[in-house]
Structure 1
Amino acid sequence: MTYTPLIPSSGVAGWNFLQSTYDRQYDAFVKSGSLKNDSEYFAENIGGVTSSEDLLNDRRLLQVAVKAFGLEEEINYRALLQRALNEGTSASDALANTMNDERYVEFSNAFGFGPGQSPMTSDSKAMQAVIDKFQSASFEEAVGEVDETMRTALFAKRAMIEVFGEPDEDDVSQLSVKERALREFDLSMKEINGKGDDVPGVTSVEDQWQDIVQRDTLREFFDTTLRIPAGAAGLEEDERIQLYRERAQVVFGTDDPTVFFSGENKGIIVSAFKTRATVDGDDVAEIAKIAKLSEHILDQMVSRDAALNEEWDFISRQEPLAEFMKVALELPDDIATRNTSDAMRIYREKAIEVFGTDDPNIFASAANLDATLNTYRENAAEAGMRSSEISGNLRTVETILKFSFGKEDAVDGGDTDAADTAAVDAGWYSIMGQTGVPRFLNTALDVSSGLEPGETFEALTVEEQLAIYKEKAVEIFGTDDLKELTGPYQMGAVSEAYRTNAEAAGESEFFITYYSQIAERELDILFQSDETDAEKEFEEALEKLRTMNDEDDGPSANSQWYTIMGQQAMTEFMQVALGLPKEVGQMDIDQAVGVYRRKAEQVLGTDKPSEFISRDKMDELVNMYLTRSQMNNISSGYSSGSAALMMLRS
């Protein structure tokens, strides 16, 4: 059975969904039905083809070959295809060169049967390229059967890359002067600042409580455990956080979540919640669910801080290490008398400042230990300590550090994949206890499909719900990471999926809009609030300092437009995307190029097609094409059949 591409809506939302799930859908498509069989047959048998006659006599091979180059409508014109293959492309009067159709040139070159050429059929890499083109063309055709505008957009994106090449992230030659200036300025700042942005900071108590009050389940957990009065819901957020901290200090003896929810204490805290919730008469199943969710969320929230605090607590209790750190990190004289929570934060903040990390397993590793010891040596010498005393202390400390640390990263125990999975899971646990989000995501992901008769999603355990959420998210959107799923690129597709499923279930427009707004706001707070507009603000500020204009390459840009206008489907795509009238096509070609260049400069900020494939301009161009196509209720300016044929001939 052949896989049918899934495009839940038209226009930009549908395109974003198709792009975000492209790899998964394309992979499912090429592995399905006759396409998989045809691809495998071609790969297994093309190596035995030594002449054009061999290729033409095996129709199954030929079908793959011609479709790869958009020539499937010519499959019955045997003589034409044989001449194109046998005459090659080296002579100016060879058929492929006289057809004024680049498809024939590519077709002939791909197999190498022309004069002076060597057959390419035994080159597995070259033949795999033919298979890839065949599969891409087939997928675009299948997309076109669902939505013709999407097919045109896919074709345009592929054609632009084929004509102008893949964008080179390191090549700045096609960037504007402004973009180059921004890039160079950013690189310079990174060199000046080093890799400080990549170093995780120490989470403050205030920030941890800020995270807690944004999660409905955790608020309910602490409202019950700390006996927070109902009237507190009306307080401003900073006042509410202060109340939580004061009550935690009284009940737990500390307001630091890293301390009171550490491995040795969290059992007591969870038990306290269950006891007080039971006394309040809460439902037993609901109590268990809130306790389980809260434990999962808090574990992830404090895990890094708790693990490192244990390491630093060990250091603070080993007199040689404590004295070593006091000198190396230039700690305050009263560090030993500070309460544990404050002392651990001071240790870690100073370690990040001096060593670049607050993880002893990193700064005491074989690669970094000498530098760590040297820091102490320099500070001790400046403080006037004797050389013999410094050397003696270093020998002792070196032995302890080598024995105690440097084995693995304490942050994730050396298992990065496990840490990433835990972070993803924590995100899902967070939304499972929210007010508006579950209804939104349950509908968008259609979580009830596939359940046994009589079984409900709400009745499943937390772990079972998590597994379904992640499986459905990957299946539909290609990722189970809520930070990606709720980002600006994917959120539109998620909202569109919710709307589609809610409408199908008979939900009213009012409630669809209502729950969408609630969910999008909550998801943004939970997963995107740490994303700022710093980059945009930086570019706007820097723009005020820039007065340079991009240089005009003139003929180079014109030649690029001539290449595009030699392909009618590409010309039509550009015309719609840039919002130009059809009459442009009736102009003299030089006049038309001038119109296209002016409009592209106005809309995209550049008139050079080679720059369309760089950065986000290609997506911007496709989005404009899809939007205008949808608004004008057109596909590509032709009937569906004509548009498809025109793309294949381009």
Structure 2
Amino acid sequence: MTFTPLIPSSGVAGWNFLQSTYDRQYDAFVQSGQLKNESEYFAEEIGKVTSSDDLLNDRRLLQVAVKAFGLEEEINYRALLQRALNEGTSAKDALANTMNDERYVEFSNAFGFGPGQSPMTSDSKAMEAVVNKFQSASFEEAVGEVDETMRTALFAKRAMLEVFGEPDENDFSQLSVKERALREFDLSMKEINGAIDDVPGVTSVQDQWEDIIQRDTLTDFFNTTLRMPAAASGLEDDELIQAYQDRAKIVFGTDDPTVFFSAENKDVLVAAYKTRATVDGDLPEDIAKTAQLADQILGQMVARDAALNEEWDYISRQEPLVDFMKITLELPDNIESLKTSDAMRVYREKAIEVFGTDDPNVFADAGNLDNILDIYREKAAESGMRNGEISASLRTAETILKFSFSENDVVDDDSLAASETAKIDAGWYSIMGQTGVPRFLQTALDVNTALAPDQTFDELTIEEQLAIYKDKAVELFETDDLSELTGPYQMSTLSDAYRTNAEAAGESEFFITYYSQIAERELNGLFQSDESDADQEFEDALEELRTMNDEDKGPSASSQWFTIMGQQAMTDFMQVALGLPKEVTQMDIDKAVDVYKRKAQEVLGTDKPSEFIAGDKMDDLVNRYLTRSQMNDINSGYSSGSAALMMLRS
């Protein structure tokens, strides 16, 4: 049976999961079914091959060879492959060199049948490399059957490393002057502050409160519910969060939003808010609006954590599973004495470290269960347990996990359309309660065009407003997801739309600028990564180094781009990742390279592909590719005029 790669969600979230579990999934894949047989056959028989005829006459060997170099579609073109092999690559007019396709060069060099070369088929290490490439290409193909964009991203990352080499994390020589300074400064800061141990996927209590204070509706909700003193508004963020947590412990008995806003507790919390707001004399319509918005936003904010905590609470109450997890996850000895919410976070953090996910429905699914059982078996043996005890524990744990969890119940926002819609809606509910954002978005989206002549937007219910916001966003910007709408690719366009409509309505320049600044700041805080602020601080602090990039020496950027453009898949990847229109692929190659270089310089701070693999640039490229691939092929809607305009801006 062939192993099917597991990718529980699309886009960047799915990519991060695939990367965190790559080694285990890849190992399971290459050991499965036909792939294992073909790999073993190639390893056993390739040493007997002494000529291109030997290779071409053995279909099983040839299938591995061509797939290793991405030439599987050429397998029936025997004459072409034989010429590429026999002519080698030393002569300029050799077929492989004239094909304008780096795959043929690599294919020919790998087997060494050309003039003046020695056959490489008896070199076990060289042939092992071919098998590895075959297995990687096969795994990428299997990933593509689940999500094609993931396949392209995997191929691009592998191809870049093969062409330009594995980066040395401690070698700054391939970085620009600016990048070296940034890296050295970053390392210095880490030495001063110590390593940051962020665990992906688990939202801490502190993080949840940091999200809460960014939303005006939620601060109004908790100020009333917790009876916060007016002086609290003057506190710094860390002091304010501590004040909220202290009051929450007194009022709710816990400062954990996942606990006090769980399904069984949230009705009591909302009722407490309504009672205290009524006593304070707030208007009924304002109370209802705040309660509804807070319910929607908080519900989405804690939904995944609350659901996963329930799963882990079930595990923590099954004694065989507790013993199993203690060994497999190397849990601390005091796990059973911790508060339930704290224990759940420890379980989940450890699960991410060991399994690559904190969702039992993922790691306990049939396709992955053998992997976690193997982890337990190995660690139990290391601890000195007897084989009989290990086997008995494995059987019990396997039975409980199999019948308790299912991939159909995966707790993942992005894997279910309904959950994704709820997440998007919660984003719109967040902005409805903000200070300057509603006016900004109502103007930018021109919501009045969706109203009847006798209607005003503020008179509509929250649900009616939500529907208009989303419909107009899709109509004008092809997305109703505020995380996309306010991202680096769309925010400037959104601001331009606001300015155009505000000017047409007679708004003064002062208020246009004022509301733009408020909205952009609040939207960035609500929907964009905190890392962008840190990046900007680095940029501002080292502004004087921006003009020093050209001091680097090395291979010309143009020659490196010609290498990339020798592979269509790499060209397509770069075109999407850099946000270039499809028309660029129709340009003269020299002009196209100039466009790629200018855009790469603008986006990545360098126009040399060999520098893309350094630091976080490769991950940035992949994330950009995945994000743009999810934007409903936005480039396909460009007219030729807009495409030309983009190239001029590049």
Give the letter for the 1:438 counterpart: P
1:402 matched residue in structure 2: 402
2:314 match: secondary structure: helix
Could you report, residue by residue, the CA deviation over 1:409-464 in whole angstroms, capped at 9, with x for unpaired residues?
43248952222212211111111110000001011112122323332211212111
Give the letter for the 2:262 counterpart: S
- Aligned CA-pair RMSD: 4.5
TM-score (norm 2): 0.55
2:428 matched residue in structure 1: 428
Is 1:495 equivalent to 2:495 in the alignment?
yes
In 2, Cα distance between equivalents of 1:480 and 1:511: 26
In 2, Cα distance between equivalents of 1:211 and 1:398: 38
In 2, Cα distance between equivalents of 1:394 and 1:629: 63
In 2, Cα distance between equivalents of 1:171 and 1:425: 31
Compared CA separation, residues 211 and 600, structure 1 to 2 (3 A)? closer
Please state how far the C-alpha of 1:243 moved relative to its aligned partner: 0.6
Higher-Rg structure is 1
Give the letter for the 2:362 counterpart: I
Higher relative contact order structure (alpha carbons within 8 Å, sequence separation ≥ 6): 1
Determine if contact 2:431/2:438 at 8 Å carries over to the other structure: yes
Percent pairwise identity:
62
Give the letter for the 2:556 counterpart: N
Compared CA separation, residues 396 and 274, structure 1 to 2 (3 A)? same
Give the letter for the 1:483 counterpart: S
Give the letter for the 2:207 counterpart: D
Please state how far the C-alpha of 1:529 moved relative to its aligned partner: 3.2
Compared CA separation, residues 169 and 374, structure 1 to 2 (3 A)? closer
In 1, Cα distance between equivalents of 2:162 and 2:493: 31
Give the letter for the 1:493 counterpart: T
1:467 matched residue in structure 2: 467
Determine if contact 1:473/1:480 at 8 Å carries over to the other structure: yes
Compared CA separation, residues 316 and 216, structure 1 to 2 (3 A)? same
Determine if contact 2:300/2:426 at 8 Å carries over to the other structure: yes
Q: What does 1:242-321 correspond to in 2, within 5 Å?
A: 242-321=242-321
2:444 matched residue in structure 1: 444
In 1, Cα distance between equivalents of 2:229 and 2:318: 44
Is 1:549 equivalent to 2:556 in the alignment?
yes
Determine if contact 2:413/2:420 at 8 Å carries over to the other structure: no
2:360 matched residue in structure 1: 360
In 1, Cα distance between equivalents of 2:284 and 2:463: 18
Determine if contact 1:446/1:501 at 8 Å carries over to the other structure: yes
Compared CA separation, residues 546 and 254, structure 1 to 2 (3 A)? farther
Could you report, residue by residue, the CA deviation over 1:180-206 in whole angstroms, capped at 9, with x for unpaired residues?
97896798799xxxxxx9995211111
In 2, Cα distance between equivalents of 1:554 and 1:384: 55
Q: What does 1:103-114 correspond to in 2, within 5 Å?
A: none
Could you report, residue by residue, the CA deviation over 1:45-64 in whole angstroms, capped at 9, with x for unpaired residues?
xxxxxxxxxxxxxxxxxxxx
Give the letter for the 2:255 counterpart: D
In 2, Cα distance between equivalents of 1:354 and 1:603: 42
Give the letter for the 2:233 counterpart: A
Compared CA separation, residues 354 and 603, structure 1 to 2 (3 A)? closer
Determine if contact 1:364/1:405 at 8 Å carries over to the other structure: yes
In 1, Cα distance between equivalents of 2:377 and 2:460: 59
Give the letter for the 2:234 counterpart: G
2:427 match: secondary structure: helix
Is 1:458 equivalent to 2:458 in the alignment?
yes
Compared CA separation, residues 328 and 185, structure 1 to 2 (3 A)? farther
Compared CA separation, residues 184 and 211, structure 1 to 2 (3 A)? farther
Determine if contact 1:412/1:418 at 8 Å carries over to the other structure: no
Determine if contact 1:320/1:393 at 8 Å carries over to the other structure: yes
Compared CA separation, residues 598 and 493, structure 1 to 2 (3 A)? closer
1:411 matched residue in structure 2: 411
Please state how far the C-alpha of 1:169 moved relative to its aligned partner: 12
1:338 matched residue in structure 2: 338
Please state how far the C-alpha of 1:318 moved relative to its aligned partner: 1.0
Please state how far the C-alpha of 1:232 moved relative to its aligned partner: 0.8
In 2, Cα distance between equivalents of 1:404 and 1:509: 61
In 2, Cα distance between equivalents of 1:343 and 1:599: 55
Compared CA separation, residues 332 and 171, structure 1 to 2 (3 A)? closer
Could you report, residue by residue, the CA deviation over 1:59-80 in whole angstroms, capped at 9, with x for unpaired residues?
xxxxxxxxxxxxxxxxxxxxxx
Please state how far the C-alpha of 1:320 moved relative to its aligned partner: 1.0
2:229 matched residue in structure 1: 229
Judge which range, 489-498 or 544-553, deviates more.
544-553
Give the letter for the 1:224 counterpart: T
Give the letter for the 1:549 counterpart: S
1:207 matched residue in structure 2: 207
Unaligned runs of 5+ in 1: 1-167, 191-196, 557-592, 631-650
Compared CA separation, residues 407 and 484, structure 1 to 2 (3 A)? closer
Give the letter for the 1:346 counterpart: V
Determine if contact 1:307/1:410 at 8 Å carries over to the other structure: no
Please state how far the C-alpha of 1:328 moved relative to its aligned partner: 1.0
2:604 matched residue in structure 1: none
Determine if contact 1:308/1:410 at 8 Å carries over to the other structure: no
Compared CA separation, residues 171 and 378, structure 1 to 2 (3 A)? closer
2:113 matched residue in structure 1: none
Determine if contact 1:444/1:497 at 8 Å carries over to the other structure: yes
Unaligned runs of 5+ in 2: 1-148, 170-196, 540-544, 564-587, 602-608, 610-624, 629-634
Determine if contact 2:199/2:349 at 8 Å carries over to the other structure: no
1:479 matched residue in structure 2: 479
Give the letter for the 2:404 counterpart: S
In 2, Cα distance between equivalents of 1:188 and 1:446: 49
Q: What does 1:568-587 correspond to in 2, within 5 Å?
A: none
Compared CA separation, residues 200 and 391, structure 1 to 2 (3 A)? same
Could you report, residue by residue, the CA deviation over 1:479-525 in whole angstroms, capped at 9, with x for unpaired residues?
11111111222112211221222122221111111111111111111
Compared CA separation, residues 217 and 604, structure 1 to 2 (3 A)? closer
In 1, Cα distance between equivalents of 2:218 and 2:398: 43
Compared CA separation, residues 446 and 373, structure 1 to 2 (3 A)? same
In 1, Cα distance between equivalents of 2:208 and 2:392: 41
Determine if contact 1:208/1:257 at 8 Å carries over to the other structure: yes
Determine if contact 1:199/1:356 at 8 Å carries over to the other structure: no
Compared CA separation, residues 628 and 308, structure 1 to 2 (3 A)? closer
Compared CA separation, residues 184 and 422, structure 1 to 2 (3 A)? farther
In 2, Cα distance between equivalents of 1:187 and 1:456: 60
Could you report, residue by residue, the CA deviation over 1:563-592 in whole angstroms, capped at 9, with x for unpaired residues?
xxxxxxxxxxxxxxxxxxxxxxxxxxxxxx
In 2, Cα distance between equivalents of 1:409 and 1:529: 28
Could you report, residue by residue, the CA deviation over 1:334-370 in whole angstroms, capped at 9, with x for unpaired residues?
1011001110000000001111111111111101111
Give the letter for the 1:466 counterpart: L
Give the letter for the 1:450 counterpart: A
Could you report, residue by residue, the CA deviation over 1:132-177 in whole angstroms, capped at 9, with x for unpaired residues?
xxxxxxxxxxxxxxxxxxxxxxxxxxxxxxxxxxxx99999xx9xx
In 2, Cα distance between equivalents of 1:598 and 1:185: 18
2:448 match: secondary structure: coil
2:514 match: secondary structure: helix
Determine if contact 1:205/1:255 at 8 Å carries over to the other structure: yes
Please state how far the C-alpha of 1:393 moved relative to its aligned partner: 1.5
Compared CA separation, residues 487 and 546, structure 1 to 2 (3 A)? farther
Compared CA separation, residues 418 and 387, structure 1 to 2 (3 A)? same
Give the letter for the 2:257 counterpart: P
Could you report, residue by residue, the CA deviation over 1:525-547 in whole angstroms, capped at 9, with x for unpaired residues?
11123453899989999999864
In 1, Cα distance between equivalents of 2:594 and 2:355: 53
Please state how far the C-alpha of 1:629 moved relative to its aligned partner: 9.9
Please state how far the C-alpha of 1:596 moved relative to its aligned partner: 9.6
1:506 match: secondary structure: coil
Could you report, residue by residue, the CA deviation over 1:269-310 in whole angstroms, capped at 9, with x for unpaired residues?
111111111111101110110010011111111111011000
1:449 match: secondary structure: helix
In 2, Cα distance between equivalents of 1:455 and 1:201: 44
TM-score (norm 1): 0.55
Give the letter for the 1:340 counterpart: T
